Amino acid sequence: MAQKTLLKGRVLSFVGSPFEGEPGDAVRVDEAVLLSGGMIAGTGSVRDLAKAHPEAEIVDHRDRLILAGFVDAHVHYPQTAMIASWGKRLIDWLSTYTFPEEMKFASPDYAAEIAARYLDLTTAHGTTTMCSYCTIHPESVEAFFAEAQARGQRVVAGKTCMDRNAPEGLRDTARTAYDQSKTLLQKWHGVDRISYAITPRFSPTSTLEQLEAMGALWAEHPDCLMQTHLSEQTDEIEWVKSLFPSARDYLDTYESFGLLGGRGLYGHAIHLEPRERDRLREVDAALIHCPTSNTFIGSGLFDMAGLMAAGHRIGLATDTGGGSSFSMLRTMAAAYEIGQLRGVPLHPAQLLWLATVGSARALRMDDLIGNIAPGMEADLVVLDLASTPAIAQRSARAEDLWEAVFPTIMMGDDRAVVEVWIGGRRALG
Ligand code: GUN
Ligand code: ZN
């Protein structure tokens, strides 16, 4: 019989969207969650679950918060070792810091070392699924998938394709991008908990031929996700205009090559034109908010409230290492701060939803991960809401759940993460 585990604590799950109606009404809190065979078998009272499953091992987390593992919808795992590099905006930041680091992933050993380091760090921060860019090297994809597979993790990733405006050694071609992506996709997509994402980096680093080849590959494999960057900085948008003079706007550089669709993930999406917003909404594409990156690289303020109200599908992400943290707690805090700058404070329930259900919806995996419900995969994080003296003295005064949780969202880090479960196995704690 499968090993069963009963986790006691404050088990938080979503029964609706906290962006519709009163945010707190979208949340349910149970006393316990039962894990069995890598899946969530049930939630409810300790008495009922323990009575129905007397063989279950009980882990008592008292008043700790138990929620779905965080889902990071846009990261660059190869940028792990150059996170927090000083003083540049996007295009200079890419050429000064990013491209030299990504060059190193020609070495399978280096790729394996960083993949393991990245997944150790993200587990320590309570992130159980991520959608990552790799580098142009197929070895970088192999290393990431092999490491994730060994850990039983649900991950999405793809070979980052670039055939212009990148240094020698970091360029492929339209043909090799297509062939290598296809080979990796055929080898890995759907194996264990691994999914492949077709990954043109962004239109400035792809020729028209390469964008066309990526579009053709996506059309052949429409069940794959496609990830790229869109309208992150104003200088970048000007550059795109000069490279694609006949395009209607930035999105059109994807749309006209078959790279706009419902399984498309568009990172940043800050400076959107009305036509772009309309088309993204029409096809129900996912926009990925990367708040620590947007402030760190100086990109701008994502219009969360306006886009949510218009019905966009939105995920939350660190964008490591343009983002300045591996922590989805810190990322929620930055999303809150950007909301404040735009005059719309996000409720803690909305922040937690974005980091779990919202990102899982963006990845079209919300039937599998991102929430606690029977039949979903058992990826969980257990948070101590008094992990530092500063947080503890504030949460001690809390008069309700949200006042207890918000100090950890704003001030918490990996010290708040006391236990992590991945696929029903204890990965931390
Ligand atoms: N645009 C194209 N590549 C990148 C990248 O690696 N990071 C960020 N933040 N933006 C990009
Ligand atoms: Zn990115």
State how beta strands 286-289 and 264-268 pair: parallel
> Which CATH number fits the domain that encloses residue 35?
2.30.40.10
Give 76 Cα–ligand 2 centroid separation in angstroms. Answer: 6
Is 293's C-beta closer than 6 angstroms to any atom of ligand 1? yes
**Which amino acid is located at 232 in the chain?**
E
Among 341, 362, 383, give the residue marking a domain's end.
362
Question: Residue 41's closest CA among 425, 426, 321, 424?
Answer: 424
Are residue 302 and residue 403 in the same domain, yes or no?
no
Ligand 1 atom 3, closest CA? 201
Determine the atom of ligand 1 nearest the C-alpha atom of 267.
10
Residues in the chain, total: 429
Q: How many A from CA of 202 to the centre of ligand 1?
A: 8
Task: DSSP letter for 48, please.
Answer: H
pLDDT in tens, 335-357: 999 999 999 999 999 999 999 99
Cβ pair 315, 361 in contact under 8 A: yes
Does 2 score more than 90 pLDDT? no
Nearest residue (CA) to ligand 1, atom 9: 322
**Of 345, 362, 379, which one is at a domain's C-terminal end?**
362
Tracing tokens 């006391």 back to the chain, one arrives at 418
**H or E element in which residue 144 lies:** helix 138-151
Residue 255 to residue 132: CA distance in whole angstroms: 22
Question: Same domain, yes or no, for 143 and 272?
Answer: yes
Tell me: pLDDT of 99 over 70: yes
Distance 3 CA to ligand 2 centre (A): 39
- Starting from the CA of residue 294, give the closest ligand: 1
pLDDT of residue 376: 98
Measured from the CA of 323, which atom of ligand 1 is nearest? Answer: 9
75 alpha carbon to ligand 2 midpoint, in Å? 6
Ligand 1 atom index nearest CA of 79: 6
Residues 174 and 300 in one domain: yes
Probe residue for ligand 1, chosen from 133, 232, 302 as the CB with the greatest number of ligand atoms within 8 Å: 232
Reply yes or no on whether the pLDDT at 61 is more than 70: yes
Residue of 98, 234, 297 with the most ligand 1 atoms within 8 Å of its CB, for mutation = 98
**How far apart, in whole angstroms, are the C-alpha atoms of residue 228 and residue 230?**
7
Please state at what angle helix 138-151 crosses helix 108-124, rounded to 10 degrees.
40
Position 34 confidence tier, pLDDT thresholds 50, 70, 90: very high
Tell me whether the omega of the peptide bond preceding residue 69 falls within 30 degrees of 0, making it cis.
Answer: no
Whether 91 shows a pLDDT value over 90: the answer reads: yes
Q: Is the CB of 76 under 6 A from ligand 1?
A: yes
Among 198, 179, 111, smallest CA distance to 146 is for 111
Distance in Å, CA 19 to ligand 2 centroid: 26
User: Which amino acid belongs to residue 190?
Assistant: G
Nearest atom, ligand 1, residue 293 CA: 9
Instruction: Work out the mean pLDDT of the chain and round it to a whole number.
Output: 98
d(CA 110, CA 96): 20
Would the pLDDT of 195 be above 80?
Answer: yes
Residue 107's pLDDT band, with cuts at 50, 70 and 90, is very high
CATH number of the domain within which 329 lies: 3.20.20.140
Nearest to 93, CA basis, from 79, 75, 111: 79
Q: Are 299 and 96 in contact (CB under 8 A)?
A: no
Nearest atom in ligand 1 to the alpha carbon of residue 98 is 6
Pair 85, 20 in one domain: no
pTM value is 0.99
CA 321 to ligand 1: nearest atom: 7
Q: Are residues 224 and 94 in the same domain?
A: yes
Domain co-membership, 271 together with 130? yes
The residues that bridge with 71 in the sheet, in sequence order, are 129
For residue 165, give both structure tokens.
């405006």
Kindly provide the ipTM of the predicted complex, given to two decimals. 0.99
The residue range of the domain holding 416 is 4-69+370-428
pLDDT in tens, 235-285: 999 999 999 999 999 999 999 999 999 999 999 999 999 999 999 999 999
**In Å, how far are 36, 128, 309, 382, 394 from 428, measured between CA atoms?**
18, 11, 37, 10, 26
Mean per-residue pLDDT for 313-321? 98
* 342 & 226 share domain: yes
- Mean pLDDT throughout 7-30? 98
Asked if 358 and 390 sit in the same domain, the reply is no
- Among 201, 240, 265, residue to substitute to test ligand 1 (most atoms within 8 Å of Cβ): 201
Query: From the DSSP assignment, how many helices (H) and strands (E) are in the chain?
Result: 17, 16
CB within 8 A of 425, min separation 6: which ones? 38, 152
292 plus 418 within the same structural domain: no
**How many of the other CB atoms lie within 10 Å of CB of 252?**
19
Ligand nearest to the CA of 203: 1
The yes-or-no verdict on residue 1 having pLDDT over 70 is: no
Torsion of CA 373, 377, 379, 384, to 10 degrees: 20
* Residues linked to residue 32 through DSSP beta bridges, in sequence order: 8, 44
Instruction: Check if 203 has its Cβ closer than 6 Å to any atom of ligand 1.
Output: no
Residues 328 and 414 grouped into a single domain: no
41 & 80 share domain: no
How far is Cα 344 from Cα 146, in angstroms, rounded to an integer? 42
Residue 202, ligand 1, Cβ within 6 A: yes
Distance CA 252, CA 380 (A): 39
Cis ω on the peptide bond leading into residue 321 (within 30° of 0)? Answer: yes
pLDDT at position 166: 98
Same domain, residue pair 394 and 301: no
Q: Say what the alpha-carbon torsion angle 273, 275, 276, 279 is, to the nearest 10 degrees.
A: 160
| Among candidate residues 68, 231, 205, the one with its CA nearest the CA of residue 135 | 205
Tens of pLDDT, residues 350-378 = 999 999 999 999 999 999 999 999 999 99
Distance (Å, whole) CA 331 – CA 157: 20
- Listed residues 343, 362, 381: the one ending a domain: 362
232 lines ligand 1 (CB under 6 A): yes
How many domains does one find in the chain? 2
Residue 232 CA: nearest ligand 1 atom is: 10
